[in-house]
Chain A
Amino acid sequence: MLEARNLSKKYGNTDALQDLNLKVGQGEVYCLLGQNGAGKTTTINIFLGLISPSGGTALIDGVEAGRKGRTNHLIAYIPEVVQLYGNMSGLENLDFFSRLSGHKHSQQQLGSLLLKAGLKEEEHRKKLSFYSKGMRQKVGIAIALSKEAKVIFMDEPTSGLDPKATNEFTVICKELANENKTIFMATHDIFNAVNVGDKIGIMKEGRLIQSSDTTTINAHELQELYLKTI
């Protein structure tokens, strides 16, 4: 579903990404670990079509990413902090972004999506400016669901969430994977990565230096490997 072929990105003389090669199958959860500046967000931004690669190719379902929005209908995105419109409610934001992606849902369907994402019904009509970070993440998930995207990119989605919210988020990610959604997640949370991921990659200075299957490694081993690698 996702494939990076010799993907690289330069900012001036700085290599933000160098010869990245990876493949993620449909319904798989791929977690990318690495320090700040390792190239995780750059990788995601290239797949999202927000920046162009300096070299190589990023493919989504066999289509090159970023070419005039040709892959936009396939993807959704949940950033570290889901920034939406503060003067609209969660329901209105969901309605807005789903229409923006060309999907039209009834109010009932939108409510169901928010419930599925874990947002309680009484919160649906509150202005987003009153939402906590966790609640915003849930609206972000509902937006991704509303778009019926095949691939969901997540950039440090559990950063700053309390343990309960992180757990809820992990559960939702697993449900999405069960629904055959591909998830590509950049994270610092090793335990969550092992918990939710099928594959884990470790990046350093723009290079993918380690790639593992979570069936062959536990959280403790991964932590040791991570610390040794970086």
Chain B
Amino acid sequence: MMYRLLFRQFLRTQACQLGLLLGLFVGIASLFVGQQFLKKQDRIALEVEEKQQEHIERNIKYHGDDLGLLLYYLKFSIVNDQEPIAALSIGQKDLNPTVQSVNIMTLEGQRYDTDLVNPNKLLYGNLDLGFVIIYIFPLLIIAFTYNLRSEEEETGTWKMVSVMTRSNLKFLLSKLLVRFTPLAILMIVLFALAGWFLKIPFASQLFPFFVISFFYLLFWFSLSFWVVSLKLSSNFNSLLLLTTWLGLVVLIPSMVNSYVANRFPMPEAFTTIINQRDGYHTKWDIEKRGTVEEFYEDYPQLAHYGFPTEEGFTWHWYYAMQHLGDVESSEQSRLMVQKIEQRDAVSKELAWFIPSMHVQLIFNDIAGTSLNHHLRFLKYIKSFHEDIRLYFYPKVFEKLTAESIDWKRFEPFHFKGEKRSFDWSKTLLPLFIGIIVFIGLSAFGARQSFSEI
């Protein structure tokens, strides 16, 4: 077979050897980065499991006779469970908290309490396998294909090839296949390593990730072949392809991000906190009764607890004030979530035309590290917060002590997310269209370009 010789010829080139080594090295490094991420998240989750009861017991020791005070200090943790596939596309999972701890006071003030993250780290993101596929693989494809034809012409072999072969196009497609195969094998090896090393289930998680990566690879090969079919010099091809890479992978996604941020500005991120703080703080200066009445409007089932009769501070009044902080910032909070959702939706729509961005968003969806996933986690926290409030309010109003409560039931809660349905056609269609377009353009160009020198 001629392919054997084409492979031999290609595998002997330094570009191939260095490119494949680089791909393998960076790919394996990305798996270690993913493993470290998983370990860190698992460690945090484990520590929360260990510390929650300890935290409750310690506070009961100090404030067990005053449930209102105890609940001022007690925090209940919710763990955003992750699956091993998260290691392949960390997304913003390292920014968004894995564990959120809340008490029964106003939620908005606690919702965005997260770990401190080194801002420098945000600049370069995570070197996960998703990054390697989206950023590094196209560069390898460019390095392998930019001179597919031009090299032959520049070194003088093209004329000989043209005389010897019946179809120049077939010859170039064979060369393209020879360049595609090692990269496809490299990708398979990296996915096999990922499955084994990170214990990722194949059928439900790794397979969709792989299929999308494979189509992304095909997209870049078809784009490169179109550039090759333009019959330009190696220098021009490399310049054109690298500019396209820069545009598709870096510049255009940044522009989309900037556009979306400008189209949906979010002053609510600030005003929610201001409204929440004002909503609570101003209640110190008004009559208790009015505050508690407002509270009962939201929770009529608790109205039978009446109004605090004591002078000065009561927990009943205090938690009503806290609740009103959330009530008065609820519209701002709703608007903020709505705008985040709008940003996400518009980004996804625009990503149909930007394969790198589309693939990144799909990777995050599969890995459970997407913005949508985080929003669902935030919604879960809200409902969890409401549940614990409603559980503890009657007990606080009845002035019970810590002994009356079964604290064992307050193990850390786990957010599992939703079972993600995977829409193959919607996911692959943008890539498929891109591939077809560039194959069409290549075929059109090839009719002219490859028939003559």
**Which residues of A are interface residues toward B (Cβ below 8 A)?**
45, 48-52, 68-69, 72-73, 75-77, 79, 81-88, 92, 95-97, 99-102, 140, 143, 147
Contacts and interface: CB of A to CB of B under 8 A. Distances in A.
A143 B164 contact: yes
B157 A77 contact: no
Given A87-B9, A87-B13, A68 B159 contact: no
B312 interface: no
Given A95-B5, A96-B2, A77 B163 contact: yes
Given A45-B453, A86-B155, A96-B2, 6 more contacts: A79-B160, A88-B5, A92-B5, A92-B9, A97-B161, A101-B165
Contacts of B5: 88, 92, 95-96, 99
B287 interface: no
Contacts of A86: 155
B299 to A, nearest CB: 80
A102 B164 CA distance: 9
A86 B156 CA distance: 11
B214 interface: no
A106 B172 CA distance: 25
A97 B164 contact: yes
B111 interface: no
24 contacts: A48-B163, A50-B453, A68-B451, A77-B159, A77-B160, A77-B163, A79-B156, A81-B156, A83-B155, A83-B156, A83-B157, A85-B9, A85-B157, A86-B155, A87-B9, A87-B13, A88-B9, A88-B12, A95-B5, A96-B5, A99-B2, A100-B165, A101-B165, A147-B164
Contact of A100 (B12, B13, B161): B161
Nearest to A103: B164
Interface in B10-38: 12-13
Nearest to A82: B160
B162 interface: yes
A50 B164 contact: no
B175 to A, nearest CB: 11
Contacts of B166: 69, 72-73, 102
B162 A48 contact: yes
Contacts of B167: 69
Contacts of B157: 83-85
Nearest to B14: A87
Contact of B159 (A79, A88, A95): A79
B122 to A, nearest CB: 44
Interface range on chain B (Cβ under 8 Å from partner):
20 to 34
Nearest to B1: A99
Contact of A83 (B2, B8, B160): B160
B311 interface: no
Contacts of A72: 163-166
Given A77-B160, A96-B2, A147-B164, A50 B452 contact: yes
Contacts of A49: 162-163
A49 B160 CA distance: 12
Contacts of A92: 5, 8-9
A51 B162 CA distance: 11
A68 B452 CA distance: 10
Nearest to A80: B156
A140 B451 CA distance: 23
A99 to B, nearest CB: 4
A97 B160 contact: yes
Contacts of B163: 48-50, 72, 75-77
A95 B160 CA distance: 14
B20 to A, nearest CB: 16
Contacts of A88: 5, 8-9, 12
A7 to B, nearest CB: 16
A88 to B, nearest CB: 6
B171 interface: yes
Residue of B6, B13, B163 most packed against chain A (CB within 10 A): B163
Contacts of A83: 155-157, 159-160
A83 to B, nearest CB: 3
Nearest to A75: B163
A51 B163 CA distance: 12
B68 to A, nearest CB: 81
A138 to B, nearest CB: 14
Contacts of B9: 85, 87-88, 92, 96
Nearest to A68: B451
Contacts of B164: 72, 76, 97, 100-101, 143, 147
B165 A87 contact: no
A69 B8 CA distance: 27
Contacts of B452: 50-52
7 closest A-B pairs by CB: A83-B156, A99-B2, A69-B166, A77-B163, A87-B12, A96-B5, A101-B164
Interface in B33-69: none
Contacts of A48: 159, 162-163
B162 A100 contact: no
Contacts of A85: 9, 157
